[in-house]
Amino acid sequence: MSEPVRLRAATRGSELALWQTDFVISQVRSVGARDGRRIEVESVIVETVADRRQDVEIWEMGGKGVFVKEVQAAVLDGHADLAVHSAKDLPAVGHPDLVLVAVPSRADARDVLVGSSLDGLAPGAVVATGSVRRRVQLAWARPDLTFTGLRGNIATRFTKIPAGGAIVVARAAIDRLGIDLTDVEHQVLDPTVMLPQVGQGALAVECRRDDHATRELLAAIEHPTSRRAVDTERAFLAELGGDCDLPAGAHASVDDGGSIAVDGLLASLDGHVLLRHSLTGPEPDALGRAMASHLLTDAGGAALLAR
């Protein structure tokens, strides 16, 4: 038997991050088995500044990128061959020496309100979330609500449901960790109520741009439909300015004919202005950028960026 292909996968050490990495590893191994190759993948756990600073809100540490920079560094300096991220954590503009080589099949992108339904929350009830995107959309639907921060791993977050209130958690995280909500009041929030974050529910696999052997292997776990949707959403964010601190969200879907439909959102930090728009088209980059251009120019969103 020939020598196995050995790879090292950089990942954060949270339960969810490890699940996601194990999922990618299983897909890579399946590709190898299909081709008659034995592939061994070792996880390289990396602690990020966001993992160390649980007392600080993500947006206060710089928003997007705080969960991925150290993981990317492990690949760039040769301590790992690939990195596995939640696609929602990736900055819109990637590192020039890395390539987003694969987006596996996407999970449910929706958010879940846990502890109550939206209509069931009493006036003035507290909702815990560290996401300004989630806050402004909930405030738009229920201006009476109040908000507090929420950090920690998924299991910890479920212990922080405010009395008489709720928390907001990504549906993909709940499903991946097998969390049973049967006996917990909750509501899966339709995208018409809560537009997901760019890339939510999707995984992103990176490797070094010049590592052609690893690129070829990882490309086989790509899910083309998921990739087209995520690329559309990431183009939207890039056109907004990369990683602006304003609440923004987008969700794209691809039909059987390859046409892409995308919904986009841009709001003010105080939640007093919320802009939404929908577009369809065939090409991810052009469609995502057209969505952002409409919200910035035609809908007046550029004024929000200037505040």
pLDDT tens for each residue of 21-36: 999 999 999 988 888 8
Catalytic residue among 22, 35, 77, 89: 89
Q: For residue 48, is pLDDT > 90? A: no
166-170, strands of its sheet edge to edge? 146-148, 126-128, 166-170, 111-114, 186-189
Domains, in order of start, for the chain: 1-105+202-222 (3.40.190.10), 111-189 (3.40.190.10), 224-307 (3.30.160.40)
- Judged by average pLDDT, the poorest of 68-72, 150-154, 168-172, 265-269 is 150-154
Percentage with pLDDT > 70 across the chain: 91
User: Which pLDDT does position 61 carry in this prediction?
Assistant: 45
203-208, strands of its sheet edge to edge? 39-45, 5-11, 82-86, 203-208, 98-102
**Does the model's pTM come out above 0.85?**
yes
Contacts of 101 (CB under 8 A, 6+ apart): 82, 205, 206, 207, 214, 215, 218, 219, 222
Query: How far is CA 14 from each of CA 50, 52, 104, 117, rounded to the nearest angstrom?
Result: 12, 12, 20, 28
Residue 297: both structure tokens together:
């120019």
Contacts of 257 (CB under 8 A, 6+ apart): none
Tally of CB atoms within 10 A around 280: 12
Q: For residue 303, is pLDDT > 90? A: no
Q: For residue 106, is pLDDT > 90? A: yes
Q: For residue 50, is pLDDT > 90? A: no
Given the structure tokens 């919320």, which residue do they identify?
A: 274
Residue 89: active-site member:
yes
